[in-house]
Structure 1
Amino acid sequence: MSKPFADRYEAGRVLAEKLSNYAGRSDVVVLGLPRGGVPVAFEIARALDAPLDVFLVRKLGVPGHQELAMGAIASGGAVVLNDEAIEALGITLEEIDEAIERERRELERRERIYRRDRAAVDVAGKIVIVADDGLATGSTMRAAVAALRTQKPAAIVVAAPTAALETCEAMGAVADECVCAITPTPFRAVGLWYENFEQTTDDEACALLKRAAEAAEGPA
């Protein structure tokens, strides 16, 4: 029986052990999905001695039904569309463009909050480890992987401390590798596998990204 993690930091350290074959390599970068994935990614990046950055994904909601996704937009401006949903719902190009523009503005606003004046880590030709605090349906992570592919990384490794078994297996077909520390059955929800699952704040995520950037720069 799997035991819940104390918090996201412990989860990140446990997950980092399962990614130890990527330690000390100059071609590895670690990305965290905000906000809960950032503490996990921070511990992975620290253990592997790899650069850390944030990777944002925003859902493109169906007009009038924002909870339904017709696609996603991600860091770097990559857009992933669900053509089947768009065709089935009769969504127009104008509606798609409006949704993209609205979410692009929000994406840029949130990137300014998280990254401040730091440039995004270049992932072209790199092994990219993308971390979140857990995978239930995996829809956000799928969008992140699809968007990252447009930036031509050498490989994409999805990493999560806890996941539904079927989601972890399915993600392995989407990414080049999927590493899940525990896949409890029944899974039910990500939060059940943490003793402390308080929401990660923007301030906490920003502080972690700043610490990682300063550590990478070394002494002035």
Structure 2
Amino acid sequence: MFKNRIDAGQQLARILGDHDTEADVVLAIPRGGLPIGRVVANSLQIPLDIVSARKIGAPQNPELAVGAVASDGTVWLNESLIGELKLGDTYLQDQIERQRQAALDKVKRYRGERPPLEYSGKTVLIVDDGVATGATTIACIRQIKNAGAERVILAIPVAPPETIEKLQSEADEVICVESPPHFGAVGQFYESFEQVSDERAKACLDGTEDQGR
């Protein structure tokens, strides 16, 4: 479906152009969202920044998301799953603080000394390389809404239909290139889905990424 993240970003940028999407800033979810965010930001000729969240995993199954927390402490919790697993407040509060700090460390690592962009009253475009369950994406959307954004648009190359439906109740608009019904993982829809290094992530944010790669 996509050759790599640059190709996915180009396809996403074309759809955004066809929709006459107007935004004030692009926020990429690191690290995989940064190459795509750079392509989209360049296409729309608007600034690129980052927004980060971390999954809160179940005690015996860290890959199972019982919630997510953004770098500013904004939390989304899957209350039904938490009740089913009988998770206590002590576990949740400990994980919320641990993962919030990890998300904040990631923002500081990539952004450096630069101050965050202003979101109040703005139309913000959140971009990632794809979404599976949507847990961290929801936390990111809520963080930017809490920061006063007038409108939040989620733009992604690929996600399953049920996740898109869930995200439509969080974002003001969801734009997705492809929504295949049979969905295992985001990487299966890319010919090349190598891990984005810290160096490349920073280069995308700084605007020094080689867009031909």
Give the TM-score normalised by the residue count of structure 2: 0.85
Is 1:146–2:145 an aligned residue pair? no
Q: What amino acid maps onto 2:21 in structure 1?
A: Y
Report the 3-state secondary structure (helix = DSSP H, G, I; strand = E; otherwise coil) of the residue aligned with 1:125: coil
Deviations 1:48-99 (A, max 9, x none): 1111111111112334543333321113232223333344444333322221
Q: Residues of 2 paired with 1:170 and 1:81: CA distance?
A: 14
Partner residue, 1:217: none
Q: Secondary structure at the match of 1:19?
A: helix
Identity %: 38
Residue identity in the other structure for 1:38: L
Q: Which residue of 1 aligns with 2:7?
A: 10
Q: Is the 8 A contact 1:80 1:147 kept in 2?
A: no
What residue in structure 2 maps to residue 163 of structure 1? 159
Matches within 5 A, 1:205-220: 205-211=201-207
For residues 1-220 of structure 1, what are the structure 2 equivalents within 5 Å?
4-20=1-17, 21-23=20-22, 28-211=24-207
Report which stretch shifted further, 134-143 or 150-159. 134-143
Gaps of 5+ in 1: 213-220
User: CA distance change for structure 1 residues 98 and 130 in 2, over 3 Å: closer, same or farther?
Assistant: same
User: Which entry has the higher C-alpha Rg, 1 or 2?
Assistant: 1
Look up the SS of the partner of 2:154 in the other structure. strand
Q: Identify which range, 166-175 or 153-162, moves more after superposition.
A: 166-175
Residue 211 of structure 2 is matched in structure 1 by: none
Q: What SS class does the counterpart of residue 117 from structure 1 fall into?
A: coil
Residue pair 1:30, 1:41 contacting (<8 A) in 2 also = yes
CA distance in 2, matches of 1:88, 1:69: 13
1:177 Cα deviation after fit: 0.8
Give the match for residue 218 of structure 1: none
CA distance in 2, matches of 1:204, 1:103: 23
CA distance in 2, matches of 1:170, 1:82: 12
Comparing 53-62 with 180-189, greater Cα deviation is found at: 180-189
Give the 3 Å change call, closer, same or farther, for CA 197–106 of structure 1 in structure 2: same
Q: How far has the Cα of 1:29 moved from its partner?
A: 1.1
- Cα distance, 1:193–1:65 mapped onto 2, change above 3 Å: closer
Q: Deviations over 1:186-207 (max 9, x none)?
A: 4443223222111111211111
Inter-CA distance 70–17: structure 2 relative to 1 (3 Å threshold): same
Secondary structure of the structure 1 residue equivalent to 2:26: strand
Contact 2:36/2:127 (CA < 8 Å) preserved in 1?
Answer: yes
TM-score after normalising by structure 1:
0.82
Gap regions ≥5 residues in structure 2: 209-213
